[in-house]
A and B are shown apart, each in its own frame.
Chain A
Amino acid sequence: MFGVLRDLFRYRLEFRFGVILTGFIVAFAALSLASPYPPQDQFVVPPDLPPSWSYWFGTTSRGQDVFWLLTFAIRNTMLFGFSVAILSRLISIAFGMWSGYRGGLVDRVLMSVNDTFIVIPLFPLLVLFYFVMRDRMSWPLLALAMASLGWAYDARLIRAVALSLKSREFTQQCVFSGMRTREIVFQEHLPYVLPIVFYTTLNNMNWSIGLEVTLSVLGFTDIDTPTVGVMIFWANQHTAMVAGIWWWVFFPVLFVVILFIGLFLLAISINEYIDPRSRLARIEGASR
Chain B
Amino acid sequence: MRALRHLALALFLAVRAVSAGAEELISDLPRNETLIVENPEGTIKNAGWFNIWAINAGGQSTGLQQLAMDTLWYIDPQHGLDGVWMNSLAAEKPIYNADFTEMTVKLRSGIYWSDGVEFSADDLVFTAELHMKTKGLRWSAPFQINVASVSAPDRNTVVFKLKKPNSRFHTLFTVRWNAVWIMPKHIFEKVADPLKFDFNKPVSLGAYVLHGYDPNGKWFIWQLRDDWQRTTLGRYGKPGPKYVAYIDPGPPDKRVIAQLNHELDIIHDTSAEGMFTLARQSKTSRGWFKGFPYAHPDPTLPAVIFNLQNDTFKDRRVRWALALLIDIKAVSMASYRGAATISAIAIPPTGTHTESYHAPLEAWLKDFELDTGKRKIKPYDPDIGKEIADMLRPSMGDQIPTSADDIAKAFGRGWWKHDPAAATELLQAAGFTRRGDAWMTPEGKPFTVHVVVEGDLRPVMTRAGSMIAQQWRQFGIDAKTEVAQGTLPDRRDAGDFDTMIAWSVETWGGHPDLSFFLDSWHSQFVARPGQRQTPRNWQRWSSPELDKIIEQIRTVGFDDPKGVELGQDFVKLAVREMPIIPLMAYNVFTVMDQTYWTGYPNAESDPYTDPVPNWGNSRAMMVRLKPTK
Give the residue of A43, A63, A135, A238 whose beta carbon is less than 8 angstroms from that of B482.
A135
User: Nearest Cβ in chain A — how far from B466, in angstroms?
Assistant: 6
List of A residues within 8 angstroms of B330 by Cβ: 43
List of B residues within 8 angstroms of A238 by Cβ: 271-273
Closest to A243 in B: B273
Give the residue of A223, A233, A239 whose beta carbon is less than 8 angstroms from that of B274.
A239
B487 touches A243 (CB 8 A): no
Give the residue of A41, A135, A237 whose beta carbon is less than 8 angstroms from that of B456.
A237
Closest to A220 in B: B485
Q: Is A236 an interface residue (CB 8 A)?
A: yes
Given A134-B484, A135-B483: A243 and B455 interface contact (C-beta under 8 Å): no
- Highest count of chain B CB atoms <10 Å: which of A61, A62, A63, A237: A237
Given A43-B333, A243-B277: A237 and B271 interface contact (C-beta under 8 Å): yes
User: Nearest Cβ in chain A — how far from B501, in angstroms?
Assistant: 14
Chain A window 24-57, contacts with chain B (Cβ cutoff 8 Å), 1 for yes, 0 for no:
0000000000000000011100000000000000
Given A219-B456, A222-B483, A237-B459: A43 and B273 interface contact (C-beta under 8 Å): no
B456 touches A42 (CB 8 A): no
Given A41-B470, A134-B487, A233-B456: A239 and B463 interface contact (C-beta under 8 Å): no
Interface residues in B471-497 by Cβ distance below 8 A to A read 481-487, 491
Cα distance A243–B256 when bound, in Å?
Answer: 9
Q: Is A275 an interface residue (CB 8 A)?
A: no
Cα distance A62–B460 when bound, in Å?
Answer: 12
Cα distance A135–B257 when bound, in Å?
Answer: 33
Q: Is A126 an interface residue (CB 8 A)?
A: no
Q: Is A242 an interface residue (CB 8 A)?
A: yes
Q: Is A123 an interface residue (CB 8 A)?
A: no
B253 touches A42 (CB 8 A): no
B463 touches A42 (CB 8 A): yes
Chain A window 234-252, contacts with chain B (Cβ cutoff 8 Å), 1 for yes, 0 for no:
0011111111110000000
Interface residues in B229-281 by Cβ distance below 8 A to A read 251-253, 256-257, 270-274, 276-277
Cα distance A219–B458 when bound, in Å?
Answer: 12
Q: Is B550 an interface residue (CB 8 A)?
A: no
User: Nearest Cβ in chain A — how far from B467, in angstroms?
Assistant: 7
Q: Is B36 an interface residue (CB 8 A)?
A: no
Interface residues in B20-79 by Cβ distance below 8 A to A read none
A241 touches B253 (CB 8 A): yes
List of B residues within 8 angstroms of A236 by Cβ: 251-253
User: Nearest Cβ in chain B — how far from A17, in angstroms?
Assistant: 28
List of B residues within 8 angstroms of A62 by Cβ: 334, 463
B277 touches A239 (CB 8 A): yes
Given A241-B253, A242-B256: A135 and B273 interface contact (C-beta under 8 Å): no
Q: Is A170 an interface residue (CB 8 A)?
A: no
Closest to B456 in A: A219
Closest to B270 in A: A239
Q: Is A115 an interface residue (CB 8 A)?
A: no
User: Nearest Cβ in chain B — how far from A79, in angstroms?
Assistant: 21
Q: Is A139 an interface residue (CB 8 A)?
A: no
Closest to B459 in A: A237
B273 touches A239 (CB 8 A): yes
List of B residues within 8 angstroms of A192 by Cβ: none
Closest to B481 in A: A224
List of A residues within 8 angstroms of B253 by Cβ: 236, 239, 241-242
A223 touches B456 (CB 8 A): yes
Known: A43-B330, A236-B253. 7 other contacts (CB 8 A): A42-B466, A223-B455, A223-B483, A224-B483, A237-B456, A238-B272, A243-B277
Please list 13 pairs of residues, one from A and one from B, whose beta carbons are closer than 8 Å in the complex, sorted by A's number: A42-B466, A134-B485, A134-B487, A135-B487, A135-B491, A237-B271, A237-B459, A238-B273, A239-B277, A240-B273, A242-B257, A242-B277, A244-B277
